[in-house]
Structure 1
Amino acid sequence: MIVQRLVLALLTPLVVYAQEADTSQRLAESYRRLFFPELKLLAQSYGDSVVLRWAPSNAPAWRAYNRIGYHVERALLDTTSPTPLRYERLTQEPLKPWTLEEWKRRSRPEQQFAAIAAQCLYGRVSIPQPNTAESFLDAATELENRFGFALFAADCDAHAATGLGLRFIDRAVRIGQTWIYRVFPARQDSVFVLDTAVLVVDVEPYRPWPPVLSLEAEEADREITLRWKNFHAGGYTAFNVYRTGPDGHRRKLNSTPIVPATPRGWTQRIEPWFRDTTAEWNVRYTYEVRGISPFAEEGEPATIVAMLRDRTPPPPPVVGKPYIYNMTMVRLEWSINAPPDLSGFIVMKSDKPDRDWRALTDNVLPAAQRSFLDTLADPDLAYYAVIALDTAGNRSDYLPIYVDIHDTIPPAPPTNVRGTIDTNGVVRLVWNLGTERDLLGYRVLWANDTTHEFTQRTNLVWMDTVFTDTVALNTLTEFVYYRVVAVDTRYFHSDPSPIVAIKRPDVVPPVAPLFTDVYVTEDRVQLRWQPSTSNDVARQVLYRRVEGDTAWRQIAELAPEQEMYVDTAVVQRMRYSYTLEAIDRSGLRSERALPVQARPFDPGVREPATNLRATYDTAAQAIVVEWALPRPPAEQFWFVVYRAVDDGELTQYRAVPPGERRFVDRELVGRGRYRYAVRVMTALGSSPLSPVAVVVVR
């Protein structure tokens, strides 16, 4: 009754969730996971033995099958033997958890995981009165916790795993063998259906689990934090951390295994970590992290060396009023409450108060220095800052100051100016953005001739590197010319950019080509034509269409002067249409040439039969004629057998169906010299006669 109530409690939130999400599929999947749980099985080979570990996938099934128990069977896998697999049972009685008395008798007081396992098994699940939904949910949560702690104890302690009935050792194995193990309930529960777990194990020498990945150490003033990844197959259950000092003494830092726990509802996995707060100053430690596998064994160690570090920065320097000399030099002075570990200063400048800082010296300024002269003052880099450094490399905060330096230098001319014109006369002009920090924008100039005066196309400063213009196309002027001028925030203008010439588009398509001749054979079509007479043709495109199709398909792209093309990708008796168009350098296409048609003919000759031979069957008193036809015709065909006796002429004798490659001649005229040949026949043609086969009947 208590299990049924717990099942109801577990299903209640699932039903509510399904109703809210309006999806029956999730409810069905939750039902399957609850009432049809999986039995998970792992194995570890030790050379002289194999250890099996298993567990059901949910808490109610675990509780139910603790009363039923499990059986273990094995079968030797021999790929060289045809004998079917024969399973032998390794458990005389079902493996069940120990009774409370057995736990007390077999366990020592210091075995903490044995106590945890026994408590998970025999601690009472209490449901307070009245029996409300909340009380059932509390009981279900308690059962989930017991299940989780029991499996954790089994992973961390082989003794606990054995006592929980979730571990078995097979000692009757040899290296090189391959065994199939299966674990299954002694019988099925009335509520939860648990299937058999099967695993193939190669018996091999013991190999410890590999070390954890990406071990890192964060060194701080008072603590060292270790972080690592848990990416191995199946993952480690928990971890131990060891520390070795200069004296060589190695000690374990954690009193209980470290377990990376991800809070419910989190989508991002929490990676394991450990914080050592007992490290001493100026001492280098070697840290060792070992994972605990589900077989209660430590894997290979991952090691790292770390020590406490000074992470406290010095106070920020206080910069006084700057001094400006000739608008080309800036002098900074500062003061600081210097700490004992002060190592020096760095002077920086930028065009922004909060980022993109650049140091003004290659080396750190001495700790005693309190001023600096910048001899390359730049109006574009008007923000200055001074930071202090200590002997541990810590940097102070900084308080930026602004120095107003007047600018008298115009910007550089724009570079990489380029443009295009479309068939509507729309010009798109682009150029590279200038590097000046006080750049305001640009002015665009144009002309129809390089000897003319360029006039402005932008009334205001253009604040972009892309400009759109429109020009007339119905003109004899082939090109339009542009220049661009840069403008800074003080309205200093750069020199104009180099002139860029943009060709106006060609709006007249080329003249269409004209077919002059079509020559057809059995396997090709030869086309000849008069190319387009336009002088700006860039290429020709040939199209083909099969009879019955409506769409043209491009089959070749040809040079502008080409006058002939041979199409060999043709099929006999198929009618083809061809057309051609010319494309000029502007991409304009001519009208397509008047189509011509061609139909490769079928000469009617088919592949002959080969390997003809004739033999006399004395028992049947008949002649057997056999032949081969490596490449049968595509259309319907049949064979005609020719026969001649002695010196007579070969004449048609019998017809043979297409599926036959053999003919038995039972109508012999007596002794003599018989000659045979075979011809392949179709409704559209025939093959030559095959070579003659001769047989003498005595």
Structure 2
Amino acid sequence: MGSNNTQIEMNNYSFMVLILFINLFFPSFVWSQSNTDTVKGAAIQLMARSQGDKVLLRWAVDTPLEWQKANTYGFYLDKYVYKRNGQRLAAPEKVNLSPIHIKADPVEDWKGIIEKSNYAAIIAQALYGEGFEVTGTNDGEIARIVNLAQEQEQRFSFALFAADMDFEAAIKAGWGYVDTDVKPGEEYVYQVKTAIPSEIAIVKSASATASTDDFEPLPQPLGLQGIWGDKNVLLTWEYELFKAIYTSYNIERSKDGKNFTELSPIPLVNLNDKPEAPAKRMYYIDSLVQNDTKHHYRVYGISSFGEKGPYSDIISGKGSPTLVFSPRISGYEFTENQNEAIIKWEYPEEGENLITKFTMTRADKDSGPYEVIFDSIPVHKREILYSKLNPSNYIKIAAIGRNNQQKESFSSFIQPIDSIPPDPPVALEGTIDSLGQVTINWDKNTERDLHGYRVFRKNIENEEFVQLTVDPIQETVYTDSVQLKSLNSKVYYSIIAVDKRFNQSDFSEALIMEKPDVVPPTSPIFTSYRIENGHVVLEWECSTETEAIHYLYRKDLTENTSWEVVYSTSGTLKTYTDKKTAQNHTYRYAIMAKDKNGLESEPSTPVTVTVVNMVPQEQIKSLSGYADREQHHIELHWKLKDQEQIAEVTIYKNAEGQPPVTYKVLPPHIVTVKDNDINPNNTYSYQLRATMKNGAFSKLESIAIKY
């Protein structure tokens, strides 16, 4: 190898070069590489790992141009004691007085390592080769495409990948360091920066901490699985969990489960890990020479320091021929039983030796989801009885081969005849709150083909139910709202069950719900009143609240008394005679209704009544008279009961056969009078009536005297 014209040939590594080429244009983003389109300025990426008695360091510049300059000038490494025995120091203690200057070994020192490591050859070619090309591929296409890329980026990408594979070569290239001057109980800070003069390039330094006490063994790869096919197996295992630890993996295979060999000397790198779509697992397809031979696999990871991790758990399996034939549902026959049919299918006999069983699935819709209704149907069977058909059934039959291969038929639609409606819902219950919010619930029907429920309501017992739900509901709870301030005190609900063929049940038993009483009764009204024999007779129309109690109130305006209840009734009586009245008193009456919840109506419009007795009072105690023929007059005498209340006394006179006329009007203190205007042989009649000071008249007293 020469310093100017040495060319590392890579004829034996075309597959690895292909991986690197893809990695170059579709980055897998291992730790030592970065997307230069998104990074602002060059920086060093540094990793540290403790191995108990030493600390391993790996670093790299993350942009190609600055990487090349750093290779020329080298790097400075500083070391500080950061903690001692778990206690952080007041100030870090610098271990080396001056930074350790680290550069790649000269080209003549690489011969020994190149002979035993192809990765070292790649790094040496990237550092010192006059040109950097991929040669020796079978068709030349890979080399032609790679050579179109910038040579500087080729060197950068290939060299960092090779350093990930060979830590010893990375140290020789000046990108790694082994610190053996370590002490238990001490934690160190390592700082790496380039030796590039600032006037040439600025590269951000990097720091990392490490301690011999922090040693952790490499983890075992997890979740190794195999999907066995026809002379092949797809191997897959967990990638995302350990991608910061392992940069590549190797797979080993064995036929006896004891002696394993690597499938390829080229480690596997995940090419699907991208920032916008992080890879979750690793995948690899291995070809098998023949089926029915058991193979065993295990996998291990390789760290950025070239460490080989522990093996995964071993998995085993066999390849099996690909299923050629697919079953086909050929028909079905309904039995005499409801929702029962014999389902038939076809499958060639020559394919039976490739399968282990049939499975049958069912769904309500062609798009699924499908559920397994028969899991282990013998391979020789071609029909089966199914007794749990729904109104709509999409049926599939699948042939299951070895290693869980399967071939599934197209779906077949089976729809049984159904004219039987579901049972009416039962156990209706409900509540109505103070805001009129109604909640009703009922027991769920047991029919398998139930589609839902329709809810109905009516406000009056004798009217028709009205449907509240537009479409059938699946829940057995329904909320409604009713107007509390209305005339009806009850509300009625009924439920109908509907199956998937839209057969409807009868109405459920009606749920009668009492609405919270927040509306007072309507006011009763007086329809008439009159005075009979000095008593007040009242009539009214009752409130519309059928169970209300009516209270009749009275107030004596003459004596200015307060309102008092004079009568109450809970029946339908609509009249009352008030006998506790006084003559010539004025009374005011009002009536109101109260329901069973204590809500009172507004009082009716009051009526005012003055009690006047139209029957004349007996104020004239006695009336007498006689004819004095000698003096030629008739003389009358009378007595009064209550002279103080009498305003005057009127005397009416008439001869026999003549109408009476007013004869005299006298003050109450005159109680006798002489009538001289008379003629012999006549009979004269006299009537006396007292006029009261309040305008009332007394009873008329009469006397007839013959002259």
Normalised-by-shorter TM-score class: 0.5 to 0.7
Name the CA distance, whole Å, in 2 between partners of 1:118 and 1:401: 67
Consecutive unaligned residues of structure 1, counting only runs of 5 or more, are 1-28, 127-136, 510-698
Output one character per residue of 1:494-519: Cα deviation in whole Å (capped at 9) or x when no partner: 1433544555356579xxxxxxxxxx
Q: Is the 8 A contact 1:311 1:392 kept in 2?
A: no
The answer for the alignment partner of 2:465 in structure 1 is: 456
Q: Letter of the aligned partner of 2:234 in structure 1?
A: T
Q: Tell me the secondary structure at the aligned position of residue 109 of structure 1.
A: helix
The answer for the alignment partner of 2:50 in structure 1 is: 45
TM-score, normalization by structure 1: 0.57
| CA positional deviation for 1:482 | 0.3
The answer for the alignment partner of 1:273 in structure 2 is: 283
Name the CA distance, whole Å, in 1 between partners of 2:130 and 2:148: 10
| CA positional deviation for 1:484 | 0.9
Q: Are the structure 2 counterparts of residues 288 and 326 from structure 1 closer, same or farther at C-alpha, using a change threshold of 3 Å?
A: closer
Q: Is the 8 A contact 1:444 1:456 kept in 2?
A: no
| CA positional deviation for 1:351 | 4.0
Name the CA distance, whole Å, in 1 between partners of 2:400 and 2:285: 28
From 139, 144, 161, give the equivalent of 2:170: 161
Q: Is the 8 A contact 2:472 2:498 kept in 1?
A: no
Q: Tell me the secondary structure at the aligned position of residue 107 of structure 1.
A: helix
1:497 counterpart = 2:508: yes
Q: Are the structure 2 counterparts of residues 263 and 240 from structure 1 closer, same or farther at C-alpha, using a change threshold of 3 Å?
A: closer
Q: Is the 8 A contact 2:78 2:99 kept in 1?
A: no
Q: Are the structure 2 counterparts of residues 52 and 378 from structure 1 closer, same or farther at C-alpha, using a change threshold of 3 Å?
A: closer
From 252, 259, 279, give the equivalent of 1:249: 259
Q: Letter of the aligned partner of 2:109 in structure 1?
A: E
Q: Tell me the secondary structure at the aligned position of residue 493 of structure 1.
A: coil
Equivalent residue pairs, number = 465
Q: Tell me the secondary structure at the aligned position of residue 322 of structure 2.
A: coil
Q: Letter of the aligned partner of 1:58 in structure 2?
A: T
**Superposed CA RMSD:** 4.2
TM-score, normalization by structure 2: 0.56
Q: Tell me the secondary structure at the aligned position of residue 102 of structure 1.
A: helix
Q: Is the 8 A contact 2:239 2:279 kept in 1?
A: no
From 161, 177, 197, give the equivalent of 2:206: 197
Name the CA distance, whole Å, in 1 between partners of 2:81 and 2:273: 44
Question: Which one has a larger percent strand, Structure 1 or Structure 2?
Answer: 2
The answer for the alignment partner of 1:355 in structure 2 is: 368
Q: Is the 8 A contact 2:396 2:408 kept in 1?
A: no
Name the CA distance, whole Å, in 2 between partners of 1:303 and 1:480: 71
1:234 counterpart = 2:234: no
Name the CA distance, whole Å, in 2 between partners of 1:298 and 1:146: 26
Q: Letter of the aligned partner of 1:147 in structure 2?
A: F
Percent of pairs with identical residues = 27
Q: Is the 8 A contact 2:114 2:121 kept in 1?
A: no
Output one character per residue of 1:97-136: Cα deviation in whole Å (capped at 9) or x when no partner: 2333333x3433341111111222234589xxxxxxxxxx
1:63-462 equivalences under 5 Å are 63-77=68-82, 79=84, 85-89=92-96, 94-103=101-110, 105-123=111-129, 142-204=151-213, 207-227=216-236, 228-232=238-242, 234-246=244-256, 248-262=258-272, 266-269=276-279, 271-278=281-288, 280-310=290-320, 312-313=322-323, 315-326=325-336, 328=338, 329-338=340-349, 339=351, 340-346=353-359, 350-353=363-366, 355=368, 364-374=376-386, 376=387, 378=389, 380=391, 382-390=393-401, 394-414=405-425, 442-448=453-459, 452=461, 455-458=464-467, 462=471
Consecutive unaligned residues of structure 2, counting only runs of 5 or more, are 1-34, 133-145, 521-707
Name the CA distance, whole Å, in 1 between partners of 2:300 and 2:292: 25
| CA positional deviation for 1:204 | 4.3
Q: Tell me the secondary structure at the aligned position of residue 455 of structure 1.
A: coil
Name the CA distance, whole Å, in 2 between partners of 1:32 and 1:464: 55
Q: Letter of the aligned partner of 1:302 in structure 2?
A: S
Q: Are the structure 2 counterparts of residues 83 and 219 from structure 1 closer, same or farther at C-alpha, using a change threshold of 3 Å?
A: same
Name the CA distance, whole Å, in 2 between partners of 1:213 and 1:95: 38
Q: Is the 8 A contact 1:441 1:461 kept in 2?
A: no
Q: Are the structure 2 counterparts of residues 432 and 214 from structure 1 closer, same or farther at C-alpha, using a change threshold of 3 Å?
A: farther
Larger radius of gyration: 2
| CA positional deviation for 1:251 | 0.8
Q: Letter of the aligned partner of 1:95 in structure 2?
A: I
Q: Tell me the secondary structure at the aligned position of residue 192 of structure 2.
A: strand
Q: Are the structure 2 counterparts of residues 309 and 433 from structure 1 closer, same or farther at C-alpha, using a change threshold of 3 Å?
A: farther
Name the CA distance, whole Å, in 2 between partners of 1:177 and 1:267: 40
Name the CA distance, whole Å, in 2 between partners of 1:107 and 1:203: 29
Q: Is the 8 A contact 1:224 1:279 kept in 2?
A: no
Q: Are the structure 2 counterparts of residues 152 and 431 from structure 1 closer, same or farther at C-alpha, using a change threshold of 3 Å?
A: farther
Q: Is the 8 A contact 1:125 1:139 kept in 2?
A: no
| CA positional deviation for 1:321 | 4.4
| CA positional deviation for 1:438 | 5.6
Q: Are the structure 2 counterparts of residues 159 and 386 from structure 1 closer, same or farther at C-alpha, using a change threshold of 3 Å?
A: closer
Name the CA distance, whole Å, in 2 between partners of 1:287 and 1:270: 20
Q: Are the structure 2 counterparts of residues 405 and 210 from structure 1 closer, same or farther at C-alpha, using a change threshold of 3 Å?
A: closer
Q: Letter of the aligned partner of 2:94 in structure 1?
A: Y
Name the CA distance, whole Å, in 2 between partners of 1:290 and 1:283: 24
